[in-house]
Structure 1
Amino acid sequence: MGVTLNKRNLRVLSITSLLLLLVFFVVQNANSVSIGESSSLANANSNEDQTLTSAGTSINKESKEEVVTEKQKAKEKQPEGDSVVDAEIGKIKQEVGIGKTDDLETGSSGSISGGGVVGKGGSASEHAQQTEFDPVKEYAMILDFSPIIVFSKSTCPYSKKLKELLDKEYSFTPSYFVIELDRHHNGAELQKYVEQKTGRSTVPNVIINGKSRGGNDEFRSLHNEGKLLSSFKDWSQGTFTVLQLDRPSNN
């Protein structure tokens, strides 16, 4: 059976084809627009995520910087706290009389002056913590320094002569010690107690093994007679050794 195409049928077929082609183009454009929007949205979301990530990193960085800053401030404040503690310690030391080294002078011959003699177990006045001076304890601690103790006064010419004699003519092991009563904070009270113990009120007063052996006149006399060295040896009772120094030759 043959199909006969007339002009009318050809016109309908052409219109139909054009409509189908138009629908195809419309669908293709719609898909392109949808894909483009999806890509743009994805890019926008990605950028937004990056922005949020960047902002989060910035916030974390600022937090870390704030923590570091606080630590630095704490470190900077710490020395100030230490200085306050040091000041309080210094104040306490001043109250108990500790740390004033200029009150205590020690010479090459073992001379000591100042307030309180540092002996075994602390100062002779127990670090100045006692409200009243105790000459008994002070005297006992002074005797612990050496078998030979010389009570002297820095302004006394006789004390000076005796110290020159002992220093230039003799050598002692262990060394003798000199207590300058005029530089001792409680020198007058101590001198009175020394008088009670030794029976001698003047200076110089040489104490050997707890007993007074006289002053400048007695020692000068024994030295001039050539008997002072043997006297030292008799008085020592083995607690110290003494040598007489050779005088330089004039030749």
Structure 2
Amino acid sequence: MAKPVNTSKTGPAARRSRKGARGRGTSSDPAGRGSAARRVLRVALWIGVALIGLAGVLVLLFSTLNPPTTPYMMSERARLGEIAHDWVPMEEIAPVMARAAVAAEDANFCLHWGLDLKAIRTAMASGGNRGASTISQQVVKNVYLWQGRSWFRKALEAGMTPAVEAVWTKRRILEVYLNVAEFDEGVFGIGRAAPHYFGVAAADLTDVQAARLAAILPDPKGRSAANPSDFVRRRAAAILDGAATIRRDGRDDCFE
């Protein structure tokens, strides 16, 4: 009787073939995962480059072009229905207003490159009870970013501020600051704040009026320049002294 023919392969080549087949059927595809990861990394890199490029364009753009609005102005317009804002060039702002704002918000404005490291260390030592944002940082936040406290926004602010300082002059930074700062609910910029509170143009502000406007900057919705509380009066008096000191020791050279 003829023996049945065994058609199965049992040699080394057959075992390697079966092992390869099992491997192909059960293993994942590390090469494919690696390729996908590289594609995601490339996309993320291009997005990062695009965002940096856009930020650079905006920094250059607003070094000469006046920002027509800001994210916060847009949100307040949506909330209130309308806001008051007129742009006033630095030449039409009383010099005492510029000195008062610097004395109130950033006395070393002419001495730092955007971040006041000494003020940051002091704020950290006080447990965060004292502010450390420079005028330059506030301009970056107001013009390019959004309000509120978050580490992500603060990181963007800290990254963009040196770029603004490198491209803009100090005088330009202060001009933009005075034109986008909020002075009352829905009242933005010194061009509207001066007539709103005192019925005068920004160029005609007195020393006391300028100091009172600077005194309300940290809390424009809770303080009034026209009907100042005792605190605002004391704060304005201190700002007047600070503005005189800044003028006397030359710390206004960068924007005068």
TM class, shorter-length: 0.3 to 0.5
Q: Return the TM-score normalized by structure 2.
A: 0.33
Q: Return the TM-score normalized by structure 1.
A: 0.34
Bigger relative CO (Cα 8 Å, ≥ 6 apart):
2
From the CA coordinates, give the structure whose radius of gyration is larger.
1
